[in-house]
Amino acid sequence: MINASGLIKNFGYRRAVDDVSFEAQKGAVVGILGPNGAGKTTTIRMVAGFLVPDAGTVWVKGIDVAADPVAAQKHIGYMPETTPLYEDMTVSGFLRFLAEVRGFSGAERQRRVDEVIERCFLQPVRNQSIDTLSKGYRQRTCFAQTLLHDPDILLLDEPTEGLDPNQKQVVRDMIREMSKEKVIMLSTHVLEEVEAICTRAIIISAGKVVADDQPSVLKTRSTRYNAVTLDVEGEGIPAILETFPNIGKIQTLSTDGNRSRLFLLPKLGKPIAADVLETAREKRWKLFDLKVDEGRLDDVFRRITTTEDIREAE
């Protein structure tokens, strides 16, 4: 439903987005990650039809967004990063205005407004003036606005930023629940969120896409992928483990007589847990605990985005 190819956007001499391409189909929850200033917001703004790319095209349901933003935007609900709101209006007045702009009137308009107020838990503030809202409620009001016309595509720029833990969970649940019928694109700095709700993660660094895959696959690029944490009792364990060809590094976390907690880092993410288990059984070690690491997204993120910076500097 979203198809972007070769997007480029310059601000003066600075290239904010440099040849970004991606596509997303119904059911996808695409997380856009990247360091500050990487170009996430600029990319989303081009999809939303707020900025026109200097080169490249975004198609939304087959509509060229730059050529016909009005038609494309009918399928899009967009929440800008800064959660802009008309300060002088009340929450319900603001939502009524947007529902009107979205083409609803009369009872239908009221029904839509009431519905999003309920879904986004805005009842306590529905008649409050927006300039007195707390940050979280501002966030939710701006999120509510995206749902008024039940669009096929949701573009959410840092949707859970500033929400309390309960509300973060509510928003994540809503996103997951809605994702079946929609394409949802969100940017975030919270990596656990990506693991929790995204079916795809696109990492952008210095305007370029540096990774685009399922979060679980991306995690295998972590150095900690398949690492084993072991709580074990037996004779001369570290010496034996050192002979394993696939174990790169052994770290002793704590020792207590013959019992020790060890952290085993594999070479190139190779699986080692099976070998360790087998040896433990053979040598009759007493095994208290064994954990296999799935890899960590923050680790991958750091590696990808910082090496990218180094390459850039050279």
Partner 1 sequence: MNENLHHITAVAKREWRAYFDSPVAYVFIIIFLMLSGFFTFSIARFFETGQADLTGFFQWHPWLYMILVPAVAMRLWAEERRSGTIELLFTVSVTPLQALLGKFIAAWLFMILALILTFPVVLTAVYLGSPDLGMVASGYLGSALLAGAYVAAGMFTSALTRNQVISFILAVVIGLFLILAGYPPVTDLLAQHAPGWLVDGVASFSFMPHFEALQRGVIDLRDLTYFASVIVFMLFSTQVVLKNKVGR
Ligand X SMILES: Nc1ncnc2c1ncn2[C@@H]1O[C@H](COP(=O)(O)OP(=O)(O)OP(=O)(O)O)[C@@H](O)[C@H]1O
Distance, in Å, from the CA atom of 75 to the CA atom of 58, rounded to the nearest integer, reads: 13
Shortest distance (Å) from residue 42 CB to ligand X: 3
Interaction mask 39-78, ligand X, x per CB under 6 A = xxxx------------------------------------
Shortest distance (Å) from residue 166 CB to Mg ion: 25
**157 phi/psi in degrees, rounded to 5:** -95, 105
| Complex with ligand X: residue 146 or 223, whichever CB lies closer | 146
The two structure tokens encoding residue 266: 């594999």
Distance, in Å, from the CA atom of 2 to the CA atom of 17, rounded to the nearest integer, reads: 17
> Which amino acid belongs to residue 151?
P
| Complex with Mg ion: residue 157 or 308, whichever CB lies closer | 157
- Strand 153-157 with 183-187, pairing: parallel
Distance, in Å, from the CA atom of 135 to the CA atom of 128, rounded to the nearest integer, reads: 14
Shortest distance (Å) from residue 65 CB to partner 1: 10
Judged by CB under 6 A, the residue of 24, 29, 34, 49 near ligand X is 34
Q: Out of Mg ion, partner 1, ligand X, none, which partner does residue 52 contact, by CB within 5 to 8 A per kind? A: partner 1
Site for partner 1 in 62-81 (CB under 8 A): 66, 69-71, 73-74, 76, 78, 80
What single-letter DSSP state applies at residue 134?
-
Shortest distance (Å) from residue 34 CB to ligand X: 5
Distance, in Å, from the CA atom of 40 to the CA atom of 17, rounded to the nearest integer, reads: 8
Which DSSP string do the residues of 196-253 spell out, in sequence order? HH-SEEEEEETTEEEEEE-HHHHHTTSTTTT-EEEEEE-SSHHHHHTT-TTEEEEEEE
Q: Give the chain's radius of gyration (CA, Å).
A: 24
| Complex with Mg ion: residue 40 or 168, whichever CB lies closer | 40
Judged by CB under 6 A, the residue of 20, 24, 38, 91 near ligand X is 38
The answer to the question of residue 102 lying near partner 1 (CB under 8 A) is: yes
| Complex with partner 1: residue 52 or 55, whichever CB lies closer | 52
Which DSSP string do the residues of 150-183 spell out, in sequence order? --SEEEEESTTTT--HHHHHHHHHHHHHHTTTSE
Distance, in Å, from the CA atom of 79 to the CA atom of 74, rounded to the nearest integer, reads: 14
Q: Out of partner 1, ligand X, Mg ion, none, which partner does residue 6 contact, by CB within 5 to 8 A per kind? A: none
Binding-site ranges for Mg ion (CB under 5 A): 40-41, 81
Binding site for partner 1 (CB under 8 A): 45, 48-52, 66, 69-71, 73-74, 76, 78, 80, 82, 84-89, 93, 97-98, 100-103, 142, 145
Binding site residues, ligand X, CB under 6 A: 11, 14, 16, 34, 36-42, 81
